[in-house]
């Protein structure tokens, strides 16, 4: 008999998930601090906006480029060991920046190499963490667990920038020291997980890495629902992030004070946190497929006030309302996908989905800048509104998405993985 959807307090009794979540929350906050400081420091060293953007671009390149091979590692090796190696690499890499900073020897090549390699470490960590969550959390608790993970991301984005600015103001290497400590905390806490996080034993001969990657891609493409998600997720990331960029750039063009523009990011972070807190209850009450569709359409009506009124309060309210359903939609469909994926394929399926979903994000600023410079703010938002609606039609028209029921029904489809 399946029990009702638990709350965050119930999940807090799960020792292994709590240890994993706390460690990664601290680490993610540290990474948010570093990613805020990277462009500031590179610009200070070079005076070049291009160099300032290069550090974040290299981090994203390392992260996305590592996802597919990392999925193979998560399906072959002990997932605790994979995560600890990634966290240990973060300690050493950011520690090297601290040493260079104390010695007054910080250089652009050093910063760029660390950005690339820490991105690769983050890409290595992600599939192993998802697979570990599947192991330590019962299927019926997955929506709450993934909602809690969504909350930590919004907290990190909300707190990371002001904390990074405060530390950077004290001395420019201090944010990297904080991030090195955050990785060390993650490394230590990962060692306290009690569950066996070993990968499922393979019964056949060991295949080459590219064959394992291909097997994961084939499995993903063989599932009609997964095919729809592979098409929809990168496109929605592209247009929604472009929408954010255009809205923020319009405020900058409008000459509003930085404090007022910062209100938009604050509102988005707070709305995301509130949405994550409400997500388990929302997921429990509505069919997962239709919740995904509602999230896909949530930004479309909000583009009207965004196009008509270029004011910080309007932008903050509109983007905040649009983001509220985002954690529930993401956590609900991700929970279903994880629940119905065989354990021996968890790493590769999640890495394939993340690779495709995140691959279009670096194009969002390009799309936003092109539309804004060519059409102006209001028309750019109108075009993005049309594109958002067209992208939202993808899950809406898919019977496979519409057919995904509430968790109480789809838990029965889950493949067994919980080991506690």
For 287-338, what is each residue's pLDDT tens digit? 989 999 998 998 888 888 888 888 888 888 888 888 888 888 888 888 888 8
- Dig out the tokens for 259 from the structure: 């404090």
Residue ranges in 340-376 assigned as alpha helix (H): 346-359, 364-375
- This prediction has a pTM of 0.77
- Dig out the tokens for 153 from the structure: 């991301």
Residue 207: per-residue pLDDT: 66
Residue 1: per-residue pLDDT: 35
For the chain, give the mean pLDDT: 82
| Domains with residue ranges and CATH for the chain | 8-194+209-413 (1.20.1250.20)
Measured between alpha carbons, how far is residue 409 from residues 1, 245, 293, 313 in Å?
11, 39, 18, 41
Length of the chain: 420
Measured between alpha carbons, how far is residue 94 from residues 101, 103, 112 in Å?
10, 14, 12
Closest to 14 in 3D by CA, of 144, 191, 114, 178: 144
Distance of CA 245 to the CA centre of its chain: 17
Closest to 383 in 3D by CA, of 252, 239, 232: 239
DSSP 187-236: HHHHTT--S--PPPPPSSPPPPHHHHHHHHHHHHHHSHHHHHHHHHHHHH
Q: Please list, residue by residue across 92-107, b when 16 or more beta carbons sit within 10 angstroms of its beta carbon and e when fewer do.
A: ebbbbbbebbeeeebe
Give 246-257 pLDDT, tens digit per residue. Answer: 887 777 677 777
Residue 206: per-residue pLDDT: 62
Closest to 140 in 3D by CA, of 22, 283, 353: 283
Least confident range from 29-43, 132-146, 319-333, 364-378: namely: 364-378
Residue with tokens 């990277």: 38
Provide the pLDDT confidence category of residue 184 given band limits of 50, 70 and 90.
very high
Q: Flag whether pLDDT at 203 surpasses 60.
A: no
Q: Please list, residue by residue across 152-188, b when 16 or more beta carbons sit within 10 angstroms of its beta carbon and e when fewer do.
A: bbbbbbbebbebbeebbeeebbbbbbbbbbbbbbbbe
Q: How wide is the angle at C-alpha 335 spanned by C-alphas 227 and 118, nearest 5°?
A: 85
Burial class (CB in 10 A: 0-12, 13-18, 19+), 277: middle
Burial class (CB in 10 A: 0-12, 13-18, 19+), 46: middle
């Amino acid at each position: 008999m399946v029990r009702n959807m638990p709350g965050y307090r119930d999940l807090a009794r799960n020792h292994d998930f709590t240890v994993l979540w706390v460690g990664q929350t601290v680490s993610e906050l540290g990474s948010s601090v570093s990613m805020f400081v990277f462009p500031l420091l590179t610009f200070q060293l070079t005076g070049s906006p291009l160099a300032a953007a290069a550090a974040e671009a290299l981090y994203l390149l390392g992260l996305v480029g590592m996802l597919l091979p990392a999925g193979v590692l998560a399906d072959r090796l002990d997932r605790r060991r994979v995560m600890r190696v990634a966290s240990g690499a973060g300690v050493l890499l950011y520690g090297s920046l601290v040493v260079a900073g104390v010695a007054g020897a910080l250089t652009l090549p050093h910063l760029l190499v660390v950005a690339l390699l820490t991105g690769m470490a983050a890409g290595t960590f992600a599939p192993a963490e998802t697979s570990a969550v599947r192991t330590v959390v019962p299927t019926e608790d997955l929506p709450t667990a993934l909602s809690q993970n969504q909350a930590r991301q919004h907290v990190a984005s909300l707190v990371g920038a002001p904390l990074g600015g405060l530390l950077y103001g004290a001395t420019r290497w201090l944010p990297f020291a904080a991030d090195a400590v955050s990785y060390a905390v993650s490394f230590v806490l990962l060692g306290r997980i009690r569950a066996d996080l070993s990968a499922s034993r393979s019964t056949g001969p060991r295949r080459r890495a590219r064959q394992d990657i291909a097997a994961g891609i084939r499995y993903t493409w063989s599932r009609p629902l997964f095919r729809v998600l592979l098409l929809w997720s990168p496109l929605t990331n592209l247009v929604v992030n472009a929408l954010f960029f255009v809205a923020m750039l319009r405020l900058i063009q409008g000459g509003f004070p930085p404090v007022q523009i910062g209100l938009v990011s604050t509102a988005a972070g707070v709305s995301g946190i509130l949405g994550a807190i409400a997500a388990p209850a929302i997921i429990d009450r509505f069919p997962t497929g239709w919740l995904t569709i509602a999230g896909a359409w949530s930004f479309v009506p909000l583009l009207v006030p965004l196009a008509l009124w270029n004011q910080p309060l309007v932008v903050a309210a509109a983007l905040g309302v649009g983001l509220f359903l985002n954690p529930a939609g993401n956590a609900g469909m991700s929970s279903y996908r994880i629940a119905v994926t065989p354990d021996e394929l968890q790493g590769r399926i999640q890495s394939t989905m993340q690779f495709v979903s995140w691959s279009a994000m670096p194009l969002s600023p390009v799309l936003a800048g092109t539309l804004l410079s060519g059409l102006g703010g209001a028309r750019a938002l109108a075009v993005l509104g049309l594109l958002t609606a067209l992208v939202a039609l993808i899950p809406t028209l898919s019977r496979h998405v519409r057919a995904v029921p509430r968790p109480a029904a789809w838990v029965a489809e889950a493949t067994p993985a919980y080991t506690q």
